[in-house]
Amino acid sequence: MKARMAERISSLKVMAFAAAMLCLALAVSAREPVSAKHAMAASNHPIASAVGAEIMKKGGNAVDAAIATGFALAVVYPEAGNIGGGGFMVIRMADGRSIAIDYREMAPAAATRDIYLNEKGDVISGEGGPVTGYRASGVPGTVAGFELAFKKYGSGKLKWAELVEPARKLAAEGYVLSRRLAELFKAYSSRLENYEDSKRIFLNGGEYFEPGDRLVQKDLAATLERIRDKGAEGFYQGTTAKLIADDMARNNGLITLDDLKNYKAVERKPIEGSYRGSKIISMPPPSSGGIVLVQVLNMLERHDLRSLGHNSADKYHLLIEAMKRAFADRAELLGDPDFNDVPTEQLIDKSYAAQRAKSISKGKATPSSELGAGIQVGNEPQDTTHYSVVDKDGNVVSNTYTTNNLYGSAVTAKGTGIILNDEMDDFASKPGVPNIFGLVQGEFNAVGPGKRPLSSMTPTIVLRPDGSFWFEVGARGGPRIISASLQTVINVIDHGMDLEDAVNAPRVHHQWLPDEVIYEPYGMSPDTIKILESYGHKFASSPRSIASATAVGIDKEGYRLGVVDKRADGAAVGY
């Protein structure tokens, strides 16, 4: 009786904490910059942001908080938060050090160049292909990446277990489903229902959840308990690894025990550039985001965008043309730097940008068919979530991680509660053929054992001209991530917007191929569209949302600011 009473009290405490944090988050997340004196966490779920803020309140730094937020998102934001995927973390410590941690998924040893092609040489769709089912998953990197960040850059004041435990409790005790999440489960039921544990956990065995129901994830809680107690070893070896590998073996999957045991997160040199005196710090390959963002900024720096105006046809013309050229380079020249000679330094050099920009004509669009990579070397998600953290000392973490598609491969590894990624689609399954995002990619990004697929994730930190931290931004939304992050930077630096307006302002997207401009509802006047069409630009058949961004910053008075895009849900929480 006493044990049951203690368990009930513990459950009520967890639920009360979550409810209190949710109320706090909602109270502070009105559409204006959330401000706090000491620290700020912003993510796509208010409970996860609250967990991050609480970790910093207990003495943890931004890295500690980012890890705890990431684990919490794996529970409360299952469509994109994950421990079954991977991503990138850009850190700037208060002492000026900049770090990039690559915990991108890796192709299993059994993955070969043509593994996703059928007998006709076409990319396999459905089960057995790179998007859905057991063969679509790369080896997850999230847990290894978080452990690397914790050991090297955590505060040292909190234990690993303290960062994982809030997520474990949320999984074990459950949380109340919002209308959005309950409806999203139904919307993706045609994929999830094909896999036993996905159907049981997220579709309530086929009965479906309603808004206000509690989602309890006992298997995930047990997995998180092993990670809490044993660190990354509790994921990549032992019970969890065996459950994943056994389920893969039963279903013709690719990931083995050796693949899991051999996974390594790595530290890389961040991409560093400048724009109108401000320093830009972003993620290097195998993320394409940092290179493309800096390339576009370098091409635009020669023009006075402020005088052109935020929504002018001429400003959009320059932006679109610069995007085309940078995405053309992305398609042919970028891939895993451990397997390819990626010309990173040349691509982000301002003289190279000047050469690329020479072909941009005033008032005339260049057809994408006439553009290729500007360098010749050698031979040749949709869903993601980004979250942002800044602590009282000025340490900053910009983290984007993903399972690629919403709910990844749709597979929940039996007995683990882990939704596995479909990140193999980020490789060029057949070089020159578009993936699910319409991106055309070259031989540098062909499938190969041990390779990390090219990504569009763009966690980015911006410093003021005096070297102090200004703001951080990243986004979710496949290749449109780059456009959302890029235009937030432009909106702040060129157009003088505050962080809230910069994140929420209308934006455009062009990725070279297909040769069309994606634009947002109410984001561009009919007159502006007509002018751009007269220049030769082609527009998508209908407007759509272009990614959703998350950002934190520090204003000149030292207050921490947090913004979650109006295009998404979530909240910024500070103290």
- Catalytic site positions: 384
Distance between CA atoms of 387 and 548, rounded to whole angstroms? Answer: 11
Residue reference for tokens 């455009």: 508
Centre a 10 Å sphere on the Cβ of residue 465 and count the other Cβ atoms it contains. Answer: 11
Buried b (16+ CB within 10 A) or exposed e, 154-166: bbeebebebbbbb
DSSP reduced 3-state for 310? coil
Distance between CA atoms of 98 and 120, rounded to whole angstroms? Answer: 47
CA 417 to chain centre: 21
DSSP reduced 3-state for 261? helix
Half-sphere exposure of residue 507: CA atoms within 13 angstroms, side-chain side: 27
Distance between CA atoms of 215 and 407, rounded to whole angstroms? Answer: 16
Asked if 446 contacts 427 with a C-beta cutoff of 8 angstroms, the reply is yes
Half-sphere exposure of residue 195: CA atoms within 13 angstroms, side-chain side: 28
Asked if 68 contacts 126 with a C-beta cutoff of 8 angstroms, the reply is no
Peptide bond into 514 cis (omega under 30): yes
Residue reference for tokens 């010309």: 343
Torsion, CA 434, CA 440, CA 445, CA 450, rounded to 10: -30
Distance between CA atoms of 274 and 390, rounded to whole angstroms? Answer: 22
Separation in Å, CA 159 to CA 8, 18, 142, 155:
26, 21, 18, 9
DSSP reduced 3-state for 12? helix
Distance between CA atoms of 131 and 429, rounded to whole angstroms? Answer: 11
Contacts of 488 (CB under 8 A, 6+ apart): 473, 502, 503, 549, 551
